[in-house]
Amino acid sequence: MTKTLTRFVYDNDDAFAIYYARFSDAHPEHPVKLAVGLGKWSEDATSDERQPFALDLRVHESQYEVMVTDADVSPWSNAKVIGRMLNRAEALAHPRIKDVFHITDHIVKDDAVLKAFLERQLTTPNNRLKLAARGKPTAD
């Protein structure tokens, strides 16, 4: 089963961003696919006023890693509501990329469903073995 989350981000009760996340407990080796959309969210705003960023989120050793990816590998590359998805080079050069990483910091701390999935990845037997082999403490 694949889980897909749609979440809204607010700043002082104003719509700030939207993000989508997709992952599967059956395939923990695959990264969480993310799309973070920034821009205007008022009822009269159009998708041309929004910039979506494609991301992969994964557990690597004892930490989370976020990687900006190209639009063509995103499940939301054609999602009209969030606008034209930026390719990797455009996203990395975009002046709001820091906002995207700020949101991903909150995602791993504050989204209970996604946080639980990621914590299970940190404590899988294979991950514990890798951590122990590198001399880092395990969750045991």
User: Which comes out higher in pLDDT, residue 27 or 123?
Assistant: 27
Q: Specify if 92 maps to a domain.
A: yes
Asked, for residue 139, whether it belongs to a domain, the answer is: no
Distance separating the N- and C-terminal Cα atoms of the chain:
28
Give per-residue burial for 48-87: e unless 16+ CB within 10 Å, then b: eebbbbbbbbbbeeeebebebbebeebebeebeebbbbbe
H or E element that contains 104? helix 97-110
Q: How far apart are CA 120 and CA 113, in angstroms?
A: 11
Q: Determine, yes or no, domain membership for 73.
A: yes
Look at residue 140 and tell me if it is in a domain: no
The pLDDT tens digits of the residues spanning 48-96 come to 999 999 999 998 877 899 999 999 999 999 998 999 999 999 999 999 9
Residue 47 lies in a domain: yes
Is position 59 within any domain?
Answer: yes
Is 48 within a domain? Answer: yes
Q: Is 138 contained in some domain?
A: no
Number of domains in the chain: 1
Tell me which of 27 and 67 has the higher pLDDT: 67
8-state DSSP, 94: S
- Host domain of residue 117: 2-133
